[in-house]
Amino acid sequence: MVMQHEILNNRKSGIAILTDSCCDLPEEILDRLQIHMIPLSIHFGETFYLDRYTIKPEQFYSLLANSESNSTSAQPSIRDFQNKYEYLCSHYSSVIAVNLSKALSGTFNSSLQAAKEISGRTGKRIDVIDSGTVTGGLGLIILRLAEAIENGATHEEILPEIRKWVKKTQIRVTVTTLKYIIRSGRVSAFKSFIARLLELKPVIVLNEEGRTVLSSKSFTEKASMKKVIRNIQKIIEKNKIWGYAITHAGNAPTAEWFATQMERVTGQKPAFVSAASPALGANAGPGVACVSFMLE
């Protein structure tokens, strides 16, 4: 309701920004920058919730720990996106949508199909971009987009910049258990089988296609965490970093450690630290911690 009031009476720009609930930006940033979000849905057996709307991360991870039912996530429908785009086109001159990696979800394709239909009907420009990433990586792209609009960039000027930011965004994910990711089919079955057999703690990255792959494996979570920081430190020795974010699935201690270490190696505070979307937790499981960063 606060967002709707602000849009009607104090809209910041003629360009609407739309993302999905996997971007993991804190609510305060979403509201302050007037970023619109469409939720994925979370299912526990016959019960379903709207990600971040009718279930918050803390509630989700509590349910996950105590439920006998497996949790799953589902993309928003084309109709959900059509309704959102119709609303945005009635209040804005144009829309830029950036969604989670199309290699991980059908959310991007639903968004694109809906955008074409609503744009054709209203005559308003709607551009839909595949972020190639998720969680804090998607959040950083949206944050940089919002700041560019706030600084006066036009729709036409921003589009090529977003595509550059997508290529400059990387994530590193530490995982305490592979069983949820194996079940979701998000990584190679052979590699995940070996890691599970040896009870290793892997680091997962997204490749250029936006797919999850196992990057390295360690015997302990702490060893994997140290590998992440060493890897990022090597990257930023030759590349200036624009910003970074820390997200986690019910693993605040690891998130805090990452935040401290990243501030040490970058000299910057995190753009944000937040709980990961229940949609991410449904596929990756509890205990996941993620460092996302964008290069200049």
In terms of C-beta density within 10 A (0-12 exposed, 13-18 middle, 19 or more buried), how is residue 50 classed? middle
Domain check: are 155 and 253 in the same one?
Answer: no
CATH of residue 84 = 3.40.50.10170
Among 199, 193, 159, 194, residue whose Cα is nearest residue 175: 199
CATH of residue 196 = 3.30.1180.10
Domain check: are 198 and 136 in the same one?
Answer: no
Provide the domain limits for residue 273. 169-295
**What is the C-alpha to C-alpha distance for residues 115 and 85, in angstroms, rounded to an integer?**
7
Domain check: are 173 and 263 in the same one?
Answer: yes
**What is the C-alpha to C-alpha distance for residues 142 and 165, in angstroms, rounded to an integer?**
10
Give the three-state DSSP class for 68: coil
Domain check: are 113 and 183 in the same one?
Answer: no
145 token code pair: 């987009």
Domain check: are 287 and 200 in the same one?
Answer: yes
Domain check: are 261 and 146 in the same one?
Answer: no
Domain check: are 192 and 220 in the same one?
Answer: yes
Domain check: are 177 and 160 in the same one?
Answer: no
Question: pLDDT at position 132, please?
Answer: 96
The structure tokens 């969680």 sit at: 135
Domain check: are 196 and 291 in the same one?
Answer: yes
Domain check: are 80 and 140 in the same one?
Answer: yes
What residues of the chain score a pLDDT lower than 70? 1-2, 4-5, 68, 178-199
Positive or negative CA dihedral for 194, 203, 207, 33?
Answer: positive
256-282 pLDDT per residue, tens: 999 999 999 999 999 999 999 888 877
The number of beta carbons lying within 10 Å of the beta carbon of residue 285 is 23
Question: pLDDT at position 222, please?
Answer: 92
The number of beta carbons lying within 10 Å of the beta carbon of residue 290 is 28
Question: pLDDT at position 196, please?
Answer: 56
Give CA separation, 230 vs 172, 192, 227, 268, in Å: 11, 23, 5, 17
Task: Name the domain count of the chain.
Answer: 2
Give CA separation, 180 vs 176, 200, 277, in Å: 10, 15, 15
Among 100, 133, 138, 107, residue whose Cα is nearest residue 210: 133
Among 270, 259, 254, residue whose Cα is nearest residue 29: 270
Question: pLDDT at position 181, please?
Answer: 65
48 token code pair: 């379903």
99 token code pair: 């969604």
